[in-house]
Copies of this chain bind each other. A is one copy, B any other.
Amino acid sequence: MHTECEKEILKLIKPKNQEKEEIWKIAGELKASVDKSGIAHGMVVGSVARDTWVSGDRDLDIFMLFDPSLSREELEEKGMRLAREIGLSNNGEIVEKYAEHPYINAHIKGFDIDLVPCYAVLSASEIQSAVDRTPFHTRYIKEKIGDHTDDVLLLKQFSKACGVYGSDQMTEGFAGYLCEIFIIYYGSFSDFIDAAAKWHPGIVIDLEKHQAKEFDDPLVVIDPVDPRRNVAASLSATRMYEFSEFARGYLLQPSCDFFIRKNTTKISEMEFFKKIKERGTSFYSIVFDTPGVIPDIIVPQLRKSVNSVTSLLERNGFSVNRADSFMGEKNCILLFELLTDKLPDIEKRAGPLVWDRNNSEKFVSKHMGKTYSGPYISENRYYVEINRKYPTVLDLLNSDDFKESGLGKHVKKSVFSNVSILKNSECWSGEFSGFLYDFIEKRSPLSDLLLEDNKKII
């Protein structure tokens, strides 16, 4: 059923018995500690519970199911106290975290373990928050996955190689749960690849045939345990169609390469300088301290900021070829590649409609005798041609109009405290050298695979 190459990949990515025993030992101990507390029931969830984790993953999710009659405050207080106790009693290095609700992240014996309090509701329709849904996902997948865990592993590895694995804001790709649903729905890895190769807008996957809400996301996959939820909500159109193209490539030329992640390539400062010259464009970057907030909050703000600044540039007559953003450990960058970065001294400005007599008189008397051309009337409106407000991109990016252009909340705060506006090779830094390489060489994962020879397997 699997090709030779898929079998070889499975050998690499399927956890060995020793690895399984190790992870289940600690999982069992932690679950027992929860049960022993007498106030909550422990449950191993996530890919470990479903037997769909890729060898080498050291992530473990232990849920602590509390009585639903507890108040939200009681749940948080008791849950967090228990999680902390369990973490500390295992000599764990613990950190309090917050998604929709607080939980404890503990590093114990080399594993990255989340201890998450939730309500033990009886049916998925009674869930009070997203975390309550997780146990239902685990039960559903364990019941349905049958002997298709190998297909899930192949799909996860294939998705990683395509750069589409992960439902976080940075990746905008597939959650592990989504991969499992794909395999259950299509029956096997190869049937799913056939289907994905034909993706187009309007596809709805509804395993339980119980859809109860419309979505206009690129792909709609109704959650088998929640008829009003799209499991693929965080998948972007770009990632979806990149995956579709990658699947087509695999069908045409099946090879192990489709399971091997590309190495990160970094561009040198000199090479970056050379590429800018070749392209003939101008690069501008806005660099500021990475705000101390989780990436899932910052990344959408970076995207919003890039869009706002792109609009600002275009509104001021500067033509943007492409723009992107990147969140580094220390610094964030908004990067803009411009076709034009300098404009003539003259700028056409629209005035009021001619029949707006009051404003017309103000406009005309303000500008009369102080223009290159005008005031003149075209169709029904006044125009003047006067000195350009921002003749260069640097003028604009150093202005208040930039700072008020609609940056995200944390981005704005960071920009106000400390920002660098950089041009061309100044945009280069070691921290951004991988991002800059990808920006310049920008190719779909398949094009990249066909052109490059630089891969690594995990």
Contact = CB atoms under 8 A, between A and B. Distances in A.
Nearest to A244: B354
A249 to B, nearest CB: 10
A380 interface: yes
Interface stretch (A139-147, A300-308, A439-447): A439-447
A134 interface: no
A339 B348 CA distance: 10
A199 B237 CA distance: 50
B451 A369 contact: yes
A117 to B, nearest CB: 39
A346 B275 CA distance: 11
Interface stretch (A326-334, A371-379, A394-402, A422-430): A371-379
A440 B375 CA distance: 12
Given A279-B344, A319-B319, A373-B441, 10 more contacts: A201-B380, A237-B380, A241-B354, A241-B355, A245-B360, A279-B372, A280-B345, A340-B343, A373-B442, A376-B447
B443 A357 contact: no
B345 A447 contact: no
B355 A200 contact: yes
B364 A447 contact: yes
A314 to B, nearest CB: 11
A198 interface: yes
Contacts of A406: none
Interface string A415-458: 00000000000000000000000001111101100110000000
A355 B244 contact: yes
A322 interface: yes
B317 A339 contact: yes
27 contacts: A198-B357, A201-B355, A201-B380, A238-B377, A238-B379, A241-B379, A244-B354, A245-B354, A279-B346, A280-B346, A281-B344, A317-B319, A321-B346, A321-B348, A339-B343, A339-B344, A340-B343, A368-B447, A368-B451, A369-B451, A373-B441, A374-B444, A375-B443, A375-B447, A376-B443, A376-B447, A385-B442
Nearest to A200: B355
Contacts of A443: 373-376
Nearest to A199: B355
The 3 closest A-B pairs by CB, nearest first: A280-B344, A200-B355, A241-B354
Nearest to A338: B344
Nearest to A375: B447
A340 B388 CA distance: 14
Given A279-B346, A319-B319, A348-B322, A242 B377 contact: yes
Contact of A450 (B317, B368, B379): B368
A239 B379 CA distance: 8
Contacts of A339: 317, 343-344, 346
A233 to B, nearest CB: 16
Contacts of A382: 444
A340 B317 CA distance: 10
A214 interface: no
A190 to B, nearest CB: 18
A278 interface: yes
A340 B442 CA distance: 27
